[in-house]
Structure 1
């Protein structure tokens, strides 16, 4: 009897240990899921956007101090800018003119060392990396997506080219509504929170709304597919490629990527870095891929990728190769932008770059996009 009871006790102890380990594992997943669910809560959004590494799995991109940005004479912001900063819940604003900082300010308790989430500004970084790898001969824009991401054979991406996903013209059905908890973009967020694999999530997509290469429809999952293609074409991770090919050559400071549960970078929106480094990226593009005396990105790629080449709907903002242009864009005017008020605005004709981080819960309201562009243009015009 004693031996039998002893065996039961050992078995129960083993179950308790296993249950405890599972509880710890589940606690991490539950914590990430709770972070996703409260990420945009009004009382938490500012702090959350500066501390994504506390809530999500992540990998470093760069860890050094980064190169300093030259400082120029302070230039006052135009009338109305302070009200705009407050109304749009802007957390950081940096203006460069002729390659030097003419304005730098931080708001809502943030500071210059905060590593702010990029959201879709990350897409434009990936476009720059794509241009470098195309020039290196690792892939071409005419390659089929499945040439480099064979797991997508038989999915909605079968038949799409690299250029199709760059242009957001894959035709894949994907609901991008951030305010619908059951949308595809929010389901994807839960995959990240629960430690799932975004590649597997993407391979489950089977429906199209149109054929590849037809009308442009903004679906962030196209950028994840672009990341799959770059990984497949090189056999390397995106953080590894980005660090070697772009981040270190351009003098980027500390930065990191949010990742999924298997370590794949969240390339469509998971970059985190100081606002100065968003401005640095804009400077690189404003200078046609050159920064710090080095040609980091081929000039012909920068020229091609920042033109409005996608098949956007009439009267809407223009698009090309993961970059945005105002619908009435002037020559040399281009933007990277992300939800909740993240921007890198470039005006080559005036040698101006404007980097903005924000926590703007009203970013989708009517007229907000147009008002932002108008303020960027007014700030640029004030740089004399």
Structure 2
């Protein structure tokens, strides 16, 4: 315990001295209150507790505070507002309003719609408001990839190089022979021990400190887990297989290539340049490694600001380049490798598209949607052709279900995009 206290103290003092993202331990007072109300700290991410815990997820684990400094937030114009009470959705038992469908069937907590510089809609349910942060789950992955894209644009990272060029300690693991690009595209097909009713290896989440302090078993945090993954199921690069651990490796590659911590890069190269209105919280393991695959807690309108930047060719509202334009163009264009890999993965049954650099590009109903997707209904969906952005957070009670994908991508989002199309 003394060693643990010392390591956290060192993280706190070094972050403060460098004026970087600041590291915090779990909020013990909040955790005590949660347990008193029947929410076990070790099960906080279970769907039963999602409504209570997802807006407060970072309080259960170590985390970094990502400051909203630098560029002032854009203030959006308010004109025609979308009426979600009048927009009707076809449910299995008849039509219902989009508001009712989102709240009661999709378990949505908040949603913001932008079209260019116009705010077309915003709502905050479940006790949230426009300053509330919410766990974004795997939406976080796209931020990790954007930091990789920025590093590559700066000449610090070569996506075509082997992962082991940057992380030689991974020689002999499943990533020995994988390129950084294959890792970013989820084309490594590494083999993990996936437990029944789970979408991930619980040893990975234990190493991340996601549900408690497991540092005695995993003293280096997520890096203690990497050596346990040694096999691949398919030839490298040939098939799309979505696995969080690839993003964790990508995050460590970015750190090795830049010589900077991922949390600091997020604060300096992104949060301080887009023009965010609120601080974010970035969950981490007990060794101080951010959860690159799913630890970002951000305000929903700030998430929409990210979408506004991406549909603007990577430029913020002031015209300053934040995300490399070519990085975005390459994702939208795709290539033969990611298209072929997508067809061999299970998600191809749900939509035509591809997965590249931790983004999905989906062709649905004649509309191309670039999407950042979280496992419980956290979505940033962008239509580059119209400039419409939909940011939403939620707590859908099951993971990786076709029903959630259909409800959001084939019912809710098409209705929102269609309504936005009518706004001039």
Query: Which structure 1 residue ranges, 5 or more long, are not aligned?
Result: 1-16
How high is the TM-score relative to the length of structure 1? Answer: 0.86
User: Contact 1:363 / 1:369 at 8 angstroms: preserved in 2?
Assistant: no
CA contact (8 A) 2:281 2:297 kept: yes
Tell me which structure has the larger Cα radius of gyration: 1
* Counterpart residue number, 1:84: 101
Q: Which residue, 147, 160, 179 being the options, matches 1:161?
A: 179
- Native 8 Å contact 2:363 2:369 kept in 1: no
TM-score, with structure 2 as normaliser = 0.78
Matched, 1:39 2:45: yes
Moved more, 283-292 or 32-41: 32-41
Query: How much has 1:201 moved relative to structure 2?
Result: 0.6
Distance 1:246 1:199 in 2: 25
Q: Which whole-Å CA distance do the structure 1 matches of 2:369 and 2:200 have between them?
A: 31
| Distance in 1, Cα, partners of 2:130 & 2:196 | 28
Map 1:198-277; keep pairs closer than 5 Å: 198-252=222-276, 253-277=278-302
Q: 1:178 to 1:294 in 2, by over 3 A?
A: farther
| Alpha-carbon separation, structure 1, partners of 2:315 and 2:227 | 37
SS at match of 2:373: strand
Check 1:47–1:146 CA distance in 2 against 1; reply closer, same or farther (3 A cut). same
**Pair 1:304–1:329, CA change in 2 (3 A):** farther
2:267 aligned counterpart, secondary structure: helix
Distance in structure 2 (CA, Å) of the matches to 1:380 and 1:331: 9
After superposition, the C-alpha distances for 1:47-95 in whole angstroms (9 at most, x for unaligned) are: 2111123210011122449514413212223223112212111000100
Work out the number of aligned pairs and report it. 358
Among 169, 185, 189, the alignment partner of 2:201 is: 185
- With over 3 angstroms needed to count, the CA separation of the structure-2 counterparts of 1:178 and 1:39, relative to structure 1, is farther
SS in 1 for 2:78: coil
Deviates more, 1:111-120 or 1:317-326: 317-326
Between stretches 48-57 and 317-326, larger displacement belongs to 317-326
1:38, distance to aligned residue in structure 2 (A): 3.2
Structure 2 CA distance for partners of 1:64 and 1:177, relative to 1, 3 Å: farther
User: Secondary structure in 2 aligned to 1:221?
Assistant: helix
Structure 2 unaligned spans of 5+: 6-24, 90-97
- Distance, in Å, in 1 between the alignment partners of 2:180 and 2:76 is 37
1:10 — aligned with what? none
Q: How much is the aligned-residue C-alpha RMSD, in angstroms?
A: 2.6
